Amino acid sequence: MTGTESPTLRAAVPPTGAAGAEESWAPPVWVPTRALGRTVLLTGLLLVLGVALGRVDLVLLAAPFAIGAAVGLRRMPRSAPELTISAEEEHIVEGGEVEAGLTVANPDVINYDLVVVRTRTSPWLKLEDADRPHAITVAPDGWTAVDLSGRATRWGRQSVGPAAARVAACGGLLACRPVVIPAKGVRVYPETEPFAATEAMPAAAGLVGNHRSRRPGEGGELAGVRPFAPGDRLRRIDWRVSLRTRDLHVASTLSDRDAEVLLLLDVLGEAGESGGVKGKASVLDTTVRAAAAIAEHYLQRGDRVSLAEYGGSARRLRGATGRRQYLTVLEWLLDVRAERGDRAPAEHVFAAHNVSSDALVVVLTPLVDPRAADMLAGLVQSGRFTVAVDTLPEGAAPPQRGPWTPLATRLWRMERENVLGRLREHGVPVVEWAGAGSLDLVLRDVSRLASAPRGR
């Protein structure tokens, strides 16, 4: 079915008459080859000439061709060959090994003299000999496999296929119509760069966790000493202060709670050229790998992590904790795509009432589109703890389109630096992604601002 055709519905009751015969007709699976046509033509021509000219030698010359065709066609195939694509479905990471293959099965009782199989693959799957046809033979009621092993060089939903096979049997006198099967998907997860943040979260408002909150409760961080009150535990009594003041005093602590992290991915555009896991990184490469690393870090600490796209689609992943959420995050990141066209982002999705007031919002953005800068300023003005991670690759520049391109690039870079300066003036910390420790300095500043007393 082509792209212009529309699917037709089969009638519930089988049709009758000529229409029914036309509906049930299907082209034969096996068709004569040109070799069979030449054999029949040559045999018939020699027989006609032998009879017409009365020459026995011409008839004897045609006999081997006729006998060979009859012997070759004494047992004819009835079924089409079966072609399948096998691909490893385990947890494949960028740069990891990929095991794939093509299998041709012969359900008939005759031998397949020649089978030519070929497949297409995604450009980011470097499979050995996948770009050329493979010629094999398949025994009766057997199968033969073609191994295609290689490496996955970039994250995303890659594919092996579609694949096609053409089979010749009966000494090359019959050929099967091409058997084509759809592609099989291969999920390649992003490589998580080493990342660790040692600074405390600016806000922690869950029930339990590893981060010090600003609320009193059971924890390990000393908040001060206060007079004993009903309900206080005896093990909290500070005997040194109690003996000095002759009144019971207890040590109060700050509760340890989990935090919520929202990773906001700017997908308004793409910049830079992707070279795979060992090559240059584009904006999307840096964004996806950084998001995977940050999510892995905070999920291992027991925090809640949610993700969202800043773009026209406005995809969102609900916050959760644990190993299952990490696998869900990796699966969600496979579908990250740059927006095409001028579709406006869904601003209402990122309104202040849709973002928790205690969440740490990490915005991964190249700051190429001015709408991203406006979104950052709006989050900070609404009181959200926001950190911007610059994902623009070093040396990224538009393609050379004329003599004025270098000058235009310099002006664009100057304007972008002005945008970064204005964001910092509005209290938006911007830091370049550099793996481990990338967010420590800005988290320290944000935590300091969060703990400072606010004016009334």
Q: Are 169 and 291 in contact (CB under 8 A)?
A: no
- Length in residues, the chain: 456
Q: What is the pLDDT of residue 167?
A: 92
Q: In what order do the strands lie in the sheet with 125-127?
A: 82-87, 97-105, 143-152, 125-127
Q: Give 33-51 as a DSSP string.
A: -HHHHHHHHHHHHHHHHHH
Q: What is the pLDDT of residue 428?
A: 80
Cβ atoms < 10 Å from Cβ of 4: 5
Q: Residue 439's closest CA among 210, 193, 272?
A: 193
Q: What is the pLDDT of residue 102?
A: 93
Q: Are 225 and 249 in contact (CB under 8 A)?
A: yes
Q: Which residues pair with 111 in a beta bridge?
A: none
Structure tokens at 368: 């190429």
> Does domain 82-189 bear CATH number 2.60.40.10?
yes
Structure tokens at 438: 């990338």
Report the amino acid identity of residue 325.
Q
Domains 82-189 and 260-451 share a fold: no
CA distance 371 to 268: 9
pLDDT tens for the chain, residues 1 to 456: 444 443 333 443 344 444 444 444 445 688 888 888 888 888 888 888 888 888 888 888 888 888 888 887 888 888 889 999 998 777 888 888 899 999 999 998 888 989 999 999 999 999 988 889 999 999 998 999 999 989 999 999 999 989 999 999 888 888 888 999 999 999 999 988 766 655 555 554 544 444 444 455 555 556 678 888 887 777 778 888 888 888 888 887 765 445 788 899 988 888 878 888 888 888 898 899 989 988 888 888 888 899 998 887 778 898 888 889 999 999 999 999 888 766 667 665 665 556 777 788 888 988 888 888 888 888 888 878 888 888 888 777 666 777 877 787 788 778 888 888 888 777 788 888 876 566 666 666 555 554 544 444
Q: Are 423 and 430 in contact (CB under 8 A)?
A: yes
Give the residue carrying structure tokens 């199989």: 117
What pTM was estimated for this model as a whole?
0.73
Q: Residue 365's closest CA among 422, 421, 420?
A: 420
Q: What are phi and psi of 275, to 5 degrees?
A: -115, 15
Give the residue carrying structure tokens 């009782």: 109
The residue ranges of every structural domain in the chain are 28-72, 82-189, 216-256, 260-451
Fold designation for 260-451: Rossmann fold (3.40.50)
Q: Quote the DSSP letter at residue 455.
A: P
CA distance 144 to 437: 52
